[in-house]
Amino acid sequence: MAIKKGNEDVRDWTFMTNHLHVLLVISSQEDLVLREVANLVGITERAVQKIVMELEEAGYLGRERVGRVNRYTVNLNKPLRHPLEKHQTVGALIRMLQKK
């Protein structure tokens, strides 16, 4: 992620991955097209397509064709992948991050 500092872009890092950002956006707004997800996350539409494909293949996302668009749903009961977090579900992570 690049942040503007004066006239130059400064590379910065965050704790959350683009995969998580895509899941968060889709879980809160299932009717968005991938171009809109890309704009909200701040990455290219092609990057979102790749992430969505990976999340679908791993069982974290489901896809349903509705008319001319795809509607995605998050599998909230799926455990997280990393051994340090596998005792938690995607749903628990999303609920924690969406608390206001």
Question: DSSP per residue over the chain, as a string?
Answer: -EEEETTEEEE---SS-HHHHHHHHHHH-TT--HHHHHHHHTS-HHHHHHHHHHHHHTTSEEEEEETTEEEEEE-TTSBPSSTTTTTSBHHHHHHHHH--
pLDDT in tens, the chain (100 residues): 555 556 666 667 888 999 999 999 999 998 899 999 999 999 999 999 999 999 999 999 999 999 999 999 999 999 999 999 999 999 999 999 987 6
Q: Kindly report the CATH number that applies to the domain delimited by 2-98.
A: 1.10.10.10
| pTM, two decimal places | 0.84
Q: Where are the domains of the chain?
A: 2-98
